[in-house]
Amino acid sequence: MESPGIEPESCSPAQEPPGSPAPPADEPEPSEAAPAPQQEAEGVPPPAPVAQGRRPGGPGSKGQAKRCGAGKGGRGKRGSTRRAGEELGRPARRAHVTVDSSKAKTSLEALKISLRQLRWKEFPFGRRLPCDIYWHGVSFHDNDIFSGQVNKFPGMTEMVRKITLSRAVRTMQDLFPEEYNFYPQSWILPEEFPLFVAEVRMMKESDPPWKPTFIVKPDGGCQGDGIYLIKDPSDIRLAGNLQSRPVVVQEYISKPLLIDKLKFDIRLYVLLKSLEPLEIYIAKDGLSRFCTEPYREPTLKNLHQVFMHLTNYSLNIHSGNFIHSDNVNTGSKRTFSSVLYRLSSKGVDIKKLWSDIISLVIKTVLALTPELKVYYQSDIPAGKPGPTCFQILGFDILLMKNLKPVLLEVNANPSMRIEHEQELSPGVFENVPSPVDEEIKVAVIRDTLRLMDPHKKKRKDNHLPDTCMVSKQRFPPVSSRLPRSNLQFSKFAIVRSQLSENSSDTKDDLLEPGSTDQLEHDISKNPEASLPSLCLKQVFPKYAKQFNYLRLVDRMAALFIRFLGVKGTMKLGPTGFRTFIRNCKLSNSNFSMASVDILYIDITRRWNSMGLDQRESGMCLQAFVEAFFCLAQRRYKSLPLHEQVASLIDFCEYHLAILDEKRLVCSRGITERRAALVTCQPDGLHLTPATHAPLLNRMTAANKLTDYRNYQS
């Protein structure tokens, strides 16, 4: 069941398909091309030249955005928020946001359209000076960047590989089995082959009518490459596979929801806008990819029929039954909204379905973020110059017959191609536009950029009013059926996009007298005015209250990072682990430091023998989590695992907070006033209730985590 694998959706850097378009020689409109340095700032004094596109490091160097901000305030008037032009009595021109698209690869076309719609300045060949935004086609490391924003997080490609994702979800399943039952039961082979055999045998014995099917997926594979189905662990092909590359074996969902008798999956686009604080957005529409042969439940006879069982576009496009359609409601690739419309006409509760999907997305991101933070601090250590990151992820979701969404995989580089290959005559292919892809993908890229707009962020930071502030009385809600080109729609589009971006910000905004003219002026100045409302919907922190109780691994990762010691490392050495134990007061007469060392060696050796990452020696985050589980089980024997772990985290955080407070007080020196409250003595810290209060508040806050459980759906 080998895949021809032609869809240029990259799985890992090594597998990025060749032939990604190089920046075209004939760049579009001259105005979009890179201007000479002296032209480029448009009312903004140019930043000091930086050799090789690198920004100077060192204090005070906070990247392009910062420098632009200083420019806006005028030379020597850093505190002023008025623009240079305004000071001279003429309206200031909005400085373009600059985007380096030289590494955009297969997302280039969709990116170009988005940038044209936003009227931002594209640098298709890169730029000597820093850009505001860098658009990478594959990974964070496509380019050396020291400022601005980049559309990839370090470590994301590694995190969403099939094995790493399965491990991260499994850790969450150990803690919260019911909340994480949206991911099929999985085994990582070869290391878990005996476990796989034993568990399947046990399940079959306890439930004889159960006739399972398993799907075998090579780690790091994509586009259905190397995937096959088996009915039993003893399948000969699996044994052969064990010698070559590691795989994830999953229970096959044999009763998917069908439309027109066909299996389909959903590709949803998710924007991870920020890791700390966590901000997640979901695109309101996505794609549905259909199989091209009517579905039948797996039997030994049909197991090999890829067009029946695998929904990959890259496979099904080779079926004679594949339907290219310009209509978003038909064909082998449709919009997800058209599928929802179809389901809702059959009485399906679409609201519930969306809410289940949002919940799946948030929970999956919560499983990925702890380790992403470890990568992040390693690549961009705190205090060192570096870019901030955001990333569009592709979530592949299958709906079961009972409408339960199941996570298939997360893609760090979802295909952003907006054209497809068409065979004109045998062997002769042509790239033709794909309206369905364009509609969805351009909106996702454009609105991601709108959310990341560094100028908007700066305006927010400076508490400046946004381009247009409109009262709800003057502009009552308008039907979305208005034509997009309509100027009136444009006005409302601003209002709606601002409302959807941050409804609480806009609630009390009032239109100033006589500002209708101002509004029209702003529309001509601000290209956003002609754009529809954002297609990305914030789901986190919006729904944080319902999900924060799940963030235990996140808190463990914070402890882990604290004790990593050396900047740039991702593994904890034995000394770091000992310091963690000591500082958190975890050793006692029952658990000596010698036992601590044994625990460290045992767990670290096992994880390192799995051969995941041999670059560094030491304890990786997953190994630390396992050690933490052991410590929690020892200390809080009778509780369920997640309560054991939560209690131990509270305990550690409490002791570290005391230590921090103690260090703070000691480092400041003991003033007379403090001497009355706190005494640093060799045997430890003595706190009066007054100084203890912040710690107690912290503890109370930590204990409140239990309250979140009540919000669980």
By CB under 6 A, name the binding residues for ligand ADP: 184, 215, 217, 221-225, 227, 250, 252-253, 265, 310-312, 396, 398, 408-409
Asked whether the beta carbons of 515 and 466 are under 8 A apart, the reply is no
| Minimum CB–partner distance for residue 256 and ligand ADP (Å) | 7
| Minimum CB–partner distance for residue 251 and ligand ADP (Å) | 6
Nearest 5 degrees, angle CA 320-CA 326-CA 328? 100
User: Which position has the token pair 């299996």?
Assistant: 263
User: Which C-beta is closer to ligand ADP: that of 248 or that of 495?
Assistant: 248
User: Which C-beta is closer to ligand ADP: that of 318 or that of 472?
Assistant: 318
Tokens of 548: 């924060």
For the chain, give the longest Cα–Cα distance. 90
| Minimum CB–partner distance for residue 422 and ligand ADP (Å) | 22
| Minimum CB–partner distance for residue 282 and ligand ADP (Å) | 19
User: Which C-beta is closer to ligand ADP: that of 310 or that of 631?
Assistant: 310
User: Which C-beta is closer to ligand ADP: that of 265 or that of 528?
Assistant: 265
Asked whether the beta carbons of 377 and 563 are under 8 A apart, the reply is no
| Minimum CB–partner distance for residue 435 and ligand ADP (Å) | 22
The beta strand positions in 522-616, using DSSP E, are 536-540
First to last CA, the chain: 39
| Minimum CB–partner distance for residue 259 and ligand ADP (Å) | 14
User: Which C-beta is closer to ligand ADP: that of 396 or that of 453?
Assistant: 396
| Minimum CB–partner distance for residue 286 and ligand ADP (Å) | 14
Q: Residue 186 belongs to what H/E stretch?
A: strand 186-189
User: Which C-beta is closer to ligand ADP: that of 223 or that of 538?
Assistant: 223
| Minimum CB–partner distance for residue 345 and ligand ADP (Å) | 25
| Minimum CB–partner distance for residue 263 and ligand ADP (Å) | 7
Tokens of 274: 């920020």
| Minimum CB–partner distance for residue 559 and ligand ADP (Å) | 32
Residues in contact with 144: Cβ distance below 8 Å, sequence separation at least 6, in sequence order: 53, 54
Asked whether the beta carbons of 494 and 468 are under 8 A apart, the reply is yes
Residue 384: Cβ-neighbour burial (10 angstroms; 0-12, 13-18, 19+)? exposed
User: Which C-beta is closer to ligand ADP: that of 266 or that of 648?
Assistant: 266
Asked whether the beta carbons of 566 and 529 are under 8 A apart, the reply is no
| Minimum CB–partner distance for residue 711 and ligand ADP (Å) | 29
User: Which C-beta is closer to ligand ADP: that of 155 or that of 184?
Assistant: 184
User: Which C-beta is closer to ligand ADP: that of 114 or that of 157?
Assistant: 157
Sign, CA dihedral 484-488-490-493, equals: negative
| Minimum CB–partner distance for residue 77 and ligand ADP (Å) | 54
Q: What are the phi and psi torsion angles at 187 (to 5°)?
A: -130, 145
User: Which C-beta is closer to ligand ADP: that of 250 or that of 359?
Assistant: 250
User: Which C-beta is closer to ligand ADP: that of 65 or that of 310?
Assistant: 310
* Number of other residues whose CB lies within 10 A of the CB of residue 86: 15
Sign, CA dihedral 48-53-56-57, equals: positive
User: Which C-beta is closer to ligand ADP: that of 223 or that of 335?
Assistant: 223
User: 684's torsion region: left (phi>0), alpha (psi -120 to 50) or beta?
Assistant: left
Sign, CA dihedral 202-207-208-213, equals: negative
Q: Could you tell me the CA-to-CA distances from 600 to 53, 201, 379, 642, 651 in Å, in that order?
A: 43, 33, 25, 22, 20
The beta strand positions in 190-261, using DSSP E, are 214-218, 228-230, 247-251, 258-259
Q: What is the 3-state secondary structure (H, E, C) of 20-52?
A: CCCCCCCCCCHHHCCCCCCCCCCCCCCCCCCHH
User: Which C-beta is closer to ligand ADP: that of 248 or that of 619?
Assistant: 248
| Minimum CB–partner distance for residue 164 and ligand ADP (Å) | 13
Residues in contact with 161: Cβ distance below 8 Å, sequence separation at least 6, in sequence order: 11, 12, 219, 220
